């Protein structure tokens, strides 16, 4: 097994406020639906130019997937500034997973990420699951690592032989947080098929071009 770094912290140790904080406003949230799908897709693709979620969002809205999958846009006033979501891997029924979670560049480091994260936890708690987990790449999602270390309970490197070996170049990790009073257990490298998500990017780009969300000449 690869190195496992355990990082138990109490919530009271979490901080977002800094002495010279700018005042930040309360965000509002809207679930992604047919009405805001284009806006959601553009925003998500702007934040994650290498992993478009469009095919996943669309499958949920058109009823093509029956899996639990809740995605939200965060608004500052009327401006969409961030996205978040929760999904499940049916084999692991006591866990929900954080999906694409991010903020537009110009709104980062102001406390809005924490606000969106807290909202996601609130939504996850309503589903009566034991823990929320996420996978991230130490290398490719470098900016998010400090945030997760501060806000999640447990951090582990992930390795599983069934995954496409290319993903290990990014140094995948699993972070977990308890949604109950129980201490969260390590994930211990159970298979989560990260490779499939990486593959869905190309499918999403084709669908976005077909649906006129991005320019036909735009490629990634």
Ligand X SMILES: CC(C)(COP(=O)(O)OP(=O)(O)OC[C@H]1O[C@@H](n2cnc3c(N)ncnc32)[C@H](O)[C@@H]1OP(=O)(O)O)[C@@H](O)C(=O)NCCC(=O)NCCS
Q: Which residues bind ligand X (CB under 6 A)?
A: 16, 18, 21-22, 47, 101-103, 108-114, 136, 141, 143-144, 146-147, 150
The residues, any chain, with a CB within 8 Å of residue 76's CB and separated by 6 or more, are: 25, 27, 107, 112
Token pair for residue 161? 């032989």
Rounded CA separation 111/23 (Å) = 9
- Of 20 and 181, which CB lies nearer to ligand X in the complex structure? 20
Q: Give the integer Cα–Cα distance in Å for 217 and 27.
A: 34
Sole residue written with tokens 């270390």: 149
CB 101 to ligand X: min, Å: 5
Minimum CB distance to ligand X smaller for 86 or for 212: 86
Minimum separation from the CB atom of position 102 to ligand X (A): 3
Interatomic CA distance for residues 99 and 102, integer angstroms: 10
Residue 45 CB, nearest approach to ligand X (Å): 12
Q: How far is the CB of 217 from ligand X (least distance, A)?
A: 25
DSSP 123-166: HHHTTT-SEEEEEEETTTTHHHHHHHHHH-SEEEE---TTS-GG
Nearest by Cα to 40 from 9, 81, 7, 8:
81
**Closer by beta carbon to ligand X, 42 or else 209:** 42
CB nearer to ligand X: give 35 or 109. Answer: 109
CB of residue 128 vs ligand X: minimum separation in angstroms?
25
Nearer to ligand X, 68 or 144 (CB): 144
């Amino acid at each position: 097994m690869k190195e496992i770094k355990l990082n138990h912290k109490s919530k009271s140790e979490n901080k977002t406020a800094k002495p010279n904080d700018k005042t930040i406003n309360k965000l509002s949230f809207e679930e992604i639906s047919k009405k805001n799908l284009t806006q959601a897709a553009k925003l998500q693709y702007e934040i994650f130019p290498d992993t478009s979620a469009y095919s996943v969002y669309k499958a949920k809205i058109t009823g093509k997937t029956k899996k639990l999958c809740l995605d939200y846009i965060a608004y500052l006033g009327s401006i969409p500034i961030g996205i978040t979501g929760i999904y499940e891997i049916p084999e692991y029924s006591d866990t929900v997973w954080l999906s694409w979670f991010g903020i537009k560049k110009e709104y980062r480091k102001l406390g809005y990420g924490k606000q969106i994260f807290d909202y996601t936890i609130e939504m996850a708690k309503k589903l009566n699951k034991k823990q929320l987990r996420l996978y991230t790449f130490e290398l490719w999602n470098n900016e998010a690592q400090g945030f997760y270390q501060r806000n999640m309970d447990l951090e582990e490197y992930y390795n599983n032989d069934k995954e496409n070996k290319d993903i290990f170049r990014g140094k995948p990790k699993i972070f977990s947080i308890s949604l109950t009073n129980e201490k969260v257990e390590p994930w211990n490298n159970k298979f989560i098929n990260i490779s499939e998500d990486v593959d869905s990017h190309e499918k999403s780009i084709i669908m976005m071009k077909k649906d006129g969300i991005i320019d036909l000449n735009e490629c990634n």
